[in-house]
Chain A
Amino acid sequence: AQSVAQPEDQVNVAEGNPLTVKCTYSVSGNPYLFWYVQYPNRGLQFLLKYITGDNLVKGSYGFEAEFNKSQTSFHLKKPSALVSDSALYFCAVRGPSGGYNKLIFGAGTRLAVHP
């Protein structure tokens, strides 16, 4: 069965420092991986995805994610955090096959960037 884990409920970072939000997955075959962000009182917004190709994927707002097949991870990174990056981040996975047409979302990680 497909699953995704976000091991940290919250990540605290000082503004200007690099940030990492962790995600590990379990899926049979090749995974299709996504990151979404949710700002307060808003719906989720797409950040980036890994389908195939280069293991380093660049996305919106300066975020990037590194796909590591041996560690089954897809960590979200940003070189220099901004206070405005404070939000709830969700990792999601879609396997190559499944009973139906869906994404499996992680529980979410709250990112708090302090001035």
Chain B
Amino acid sequence: NAGVTQTPKFQVLKTGQSMTLQCAQDMNHNSMYWYRQDPGMGLRLIYYSASEGTTDKGEVPNGYNVSRLNKREFSLRLESAAPSQTSVYFCASTTKGIATNEKLFFGSGTQLSVL
């Protein structure tokens, strides 16, 4: 059982380049989330998808877009990368959503550097 799988694990971009971070879960979860982790700041929610076909902004959505491709997959796109987007990105999922106080299942992260 793979759980939550993120690709790639590492990426280096130049300012202005675009890229898509991929996330897939095999646990039949309805809700999926994208967080970024920065030193001294904990995790901050970028976007989330409560169910297939819906997406909503989190705390720090500027500069990002998301697509809930199907129930399994939730991608995060940086259209024009900026150095401020250098971070570790985590995808997470849960069956019904944070509002039900379920635990989140996290992927192993993508370390992104923007030069």
The tally of residues in B whose CB lies under 8 Å from a CB in A reads: 27
Collect the chain A residues with CB atoms within 8 Å of residue B92's CB.
Answer: 43-44
**Given that A100-B58, A108-B42 are contacting pairs, would A32 and B106 also be in contact in the complex, using a CB cutoff of 8 Å?**
no
| CB 8 Å contact bits of B1-16 with A (1 = contact, 0 = none) | 0001000000000000
Minimum CB–CB distance from A100 to chain B (whole Å) comes to 6
Q: Which residues of A contact B59 (CB under 8 A)?
A: 102
Q: Which residues of B contact A32 (CB under 8 A)?
A: 101
Q: Write the chain B residue with the least CB distance to A6.
A: B42
Contact bitstring A37-80, B, C-beta under 8 A = 1, else 0: 00001111110010100000000000000000000000000000
What is the CA–CA distance of A103 and B33 in the complex, to the nearest angstrom?
A: 11
Residues of B within 8 A of A9 (CB): 40
Interface pair B42/A43, CB less than 8 Å apart: no
Could you say which residues of chain A place their CB within 8 Å of the CB of B50?
Answer: 101
B98 interface hit (Cβ, 8 Å): yes
Query: Most chain-B CB neighbours within 10 Å: which of A46, A90, A101?
Result: A101
- Find the A residue at minimum CB distance from B40: A107
Across the interface, name the chain A residue whose C-beta is closest to B59. A102
Contacts of B98 in A (CB 8 A): 94, 101-103
Residues of B within 8 A of A107 (CB): 40-42
Name B48's contact: one of A43, A46, A101, A106 (CB within 8 Å): A101
A105 CB-CB contact with B under 8 Å = yes
Cβ of B43 and Cβ of A45 under 8 Å apart? no
Contact A49 B106 (CB under 8 A): no
State which residues 14-51 of A face B: CB under 8 Å. Answer: 32, 34, 36, 41-46, 49, 51
Chain B positions within 8 Å of A101 at CB level: 31, 48, 50, 56, 97-99
- Which residues, 16 to 46 on B, are CB-close (under 8 Å) to A? 31, 40-45
Query: Which B residues form the contact surface with A (CB < 8 A)?
Result: 4, 31, 40-45, 48, 50, 56-59, 90, 92, 97-99, 101, 103-109
